[in-house]
Amino acid sequence: MEWYWLGVMMFAILVAFILIGVPVAFALGLTGSIMVYFFLSPNMLFQLARISFDVASTHLFIVAPLFILMAGLVSQSDVAERAFLAATKWLNWLPAPLAISTVAATTMFSAISGSSPATAAAIGYTSVPEMLKHGYDKRLSVGVVAAGGTLGILIPPSVVMIIFGIITETSIGALFMAGLIPGLMLSGLLMLYVVLHSKRYPIKRRETMIVTWADRFSSLSGVWPIALLFITVIGVIYSGIATPTEAAAIGASAAVLLTLPRKGMGLTGLARVLVRAAQTTSMIMFLIICGSFFGFVISMLGIAHETVALLIAAEISPWSVLICYVIILILLGCLIDPASMMVITLPLAFPVLSGLGFDPLWIGVIVTIAVEIGMITPPVGLNLFVLQGVVPKEVTAKDIALGALPFVLVLILGLVLVMVFPGLATWLPSMLR
């Protein structure tokens, strides 16, 4: 059978499994096993066991559960609430200060959470009721939280970038640095949109909060854990003191020490965090193991190699291929979670894109931003569902979906800027290298 029919059959089987409700990880493993049994050799099924051992025992994989634990610890404590309150005191002189403070708080919290839903939920729980109380439009209030939450998987440390690095064998430390400038740029674009929106649609009731410089400086007491964790994790990586794996261990240990005495934590909160971290780690492990096996089968069937050869021979613009892949990721974001869509698409897409000459770090940032956009794309982006569970009951699912829609366009603008100016992603890693 020709390689292209094998590719069509492989992805058709995968989609069929997902549509009937099979979890994505098991759907990947089952699809790969079927293709091996019928089109390669049943004896090659042992590769699934070998890949499982290799993935589970690699030192790189230890990075993911440690950063997941760190994110869970700071999400469980009151760090997010304190970050938002500090931002409101320092930014109260700007138009729509609470909305801009929300973006600032999500940016700060992203530097230690590594998760988009966790960032949106933690900041939204405090900021949305506060904005509604001060007369902000419901849709702006939830939209800015949903969009700001997406920064959690772009600003380092990022669990999504760790998954990208493991699947593509790209340096996780370099990916972290590649995401920093684009993450800050997107944060600035979100703030700019809020300012322009507030100029066109003034808030009905302005804040009357009077803030002194003493209030501002005292509010920093709630922000220092974020700064300390970020400087500790990123600093030890790029000073050469520790590898990303060791930095993750240092960050998780520091997070335990910093959050255990804080409000909302204690031993009970720690136990909940450990259980959630174990559940999330197990899910990601299964995804990466089965996704790696899926990629192995694609390689053995010659699908990736022949696809690259076909595109080169047909002289199709590499940019056309990249743009099509980005659109696919944005659309998939309406249906499945970021880790799943990356594990499904990267085994074929990454060899093709790297074969066409694109920088792996640049690809990693573009994929991450595209995944971000998918997470707030109505009607079923993941962040929209997360917010539904933490916002006041007066905010409907329709309000959340319509509120996120303008911010989708803002994030697309940021994605276009990174695609047009690759140096936004590649300059910092090259300088540090």
Query: What is the 3 state secondary structure string of 338-385?
Result: HHHHHHHHHHHHHHHHHHCCCCHHHHHHHHHHHHHHHHCCCCCCHHHH
Query: What is the domain range of residue 182?
Result: 3-11+24-35+45-202+211-432
Per-residue pLDDT of 284-315, as tens digits, reads: 888 888 888 888 888 888 877 777 777 777 77
What lies within 8 Å, CB to CB, of 104 at 6+ separation is 87, 90, 91, 187, 191
pLDDT at 77 over 80: no
Q: Is residue 17 part of a domain?
A: no
Give residue 96's Cα distance to chain centre: 27
| Most confident by average pLDDT, 157-161, 278-282, 321-325 | 321-325
Q: Is residue 426 part of a domain?
A: yes
| Most confident by average pLDDT, 92-101, 134-143, 356-365, 396-405 | 356-365
* Mean pLDDT for all residues in the chain: 83
Q: Is residue 335 part of a domain?
A: yes
pLDDT at 379 over 70: no
pLDDT at 192 over 90: yes
Q: Is residue 341 part of a domain?
A: yes
pLDDT bucket at 361, cuts 50 / 70 / 90 = very high
Give residue 135's Cα distance to chain centre: 31
Cβ atoms of residues 152 and 119 within 8 Å: yes
pLDDT bucket at 374, cuts 50 / 70 / 90 = confident
- What's the total number of domains in the chain? 1
Q: Is residue 248 part of a domain?
A: yes
Q: Quote the percentage of the chain above a pLDDT of 70.
A: 95
Q: Is residue 418 part of a domain?
A: yes
d(CA 399, CA 404): 8
**For 344-368, what is the mean pLDDT?**
89
Look at 61 and 291; give whichever has higher pLDDT.
291
Q: Is residue 381 part of a domain?
A: yes
Look at 276 and 380; give whichever has higher pLDDT.
276
**For 347-365, what is the mean pLDDT?**
89
Query: What is the 3 state secondary structure string of the chain?
Result: CCHHHHHHHHHHHHHHHHHCCCCHHHHHHHHHHHHHHHHCCHHHHHHHHHHHHHHHHCHHHHHHHHHHHHHHHHHHCCHHHHHHHHHHHHCCCCCCHHHHHHHHHHHHHHHHHCCHHHHHHHHHHHHHHHHHHCCCCHHHHHHHHHHHHHHHHCCCCCHHHHHHHHHHCCCHHHHHHHHHHHHHHHHHHHHHHHHHHHHHCCCCCCCCCCCCHHHHHHHHHHCHHHHHHHHHHHHHHHCCCCCHHHHHHHHHHHHHHHHCCCCCCHHHHHHHHHHHHHHHHHHHHHHHHHHHHHHHHHHHCCHHHHHHHHHHHCCCCHHHHHHHHHHHHHHHCCCCCHHHHHHHHHHHHHHHHHHCCCCHHHHHHHHHHHHHHHHCCCCCCHHHHHHHCCCCCCCCHHHHHHHHHHHHHHHHHHHHHHHHCCHHHHHHHHHHC
Q: Is residue 16 part of a domain?
A: no
pLDDT bucket at 416, cuts 50 / 70 / 90 = very high
pLDDT at 427: 92
